Amino acid sequence: MGTRTWPLVRLVLLVAAGAARRARAQSCFSGGSVSLRLDVTTNETGHPHVHARLDQPAESASWALDLDLGTSACRAGQQPRKVLTLALVGTPLKAPVPPEYELLPALGYFRQPPRALDWASARDACWQEGAALAVPQSQREAEQLTRRFAFNASDATRVDLGWLGASDAAKEGEFVTVGGVPLSKMGYTTWNPGQPAGKANENCLAFWKSNALLEDLPCAWKLPYICKVPL
Stretch that binds Ca ion, among 3-11, 39-47, 203-211, 222-230 (CB under 5 A): 203-211
The whole-angstrom distance between residue 119's C-alpha and the CA centroid of its chain comes to 19
Can you give the length of the chain in residues? 231
CB of 196 to Ca ion, least distance (A): 6
Sheet with 227-229, edge to edge strand ranges = 102-104, 108-111, 227-229, 132-133
| Binding to Ca ion, residues 162-201 (CB under 5 A) | 168
Binding mask 33-72 for Ca ion (x = CB under 5 A): ----------------------------------------
Judged by CB under 5 A, the number of residues near Ca ion is 2
- State which residue, 60 or 157, has the beta carbon closest to Ca ion: 157
Exposed / middle / buried, residue 136 (Cβ in 10 Å: 0-12, 13-18, 19+) = buried
- State which residue, 156 or 183, has the beta carbon closest to Ca ion: 183
- State which residue, 176 or 227, has the beta carbon closest to Ca ion: 176
CB of 154 to Ca ion, least distance (A): 27
Stretch that binds Ca ion, among 90-98, 161-169, 174-182, 184-192 (CB under 5 A): 161-169
Residue 74 near residue 96, CB atoms below 8 Å: no
CB of 207 to Ca ion, least distance (A): 16
Q: What single string gives the DSSP state of each residue in 129-165?
A: TT-EE---SSHHHHHHHHHH-----BT-S-SSEEEEE
Residue 26 near residue 12, CB atoms below 8 Å: yes
The binder of Ca ion chosen from 131, 203, 212, 219 (CB under 5 A): 203
Q: In 3-state terms, what secondary structure has residue 139?
A: helix
- State which residue, 118 or 168, has the beta carbon closest to Ca ion: 168
Residue 55 near residue 30, CB atoms below 8 Å: no
- State which residue, 18 or 198, has the beta carbon closest to Ca ion: 198
Residue ranges binding Ca ion (CB under 5 A) = 168, 203
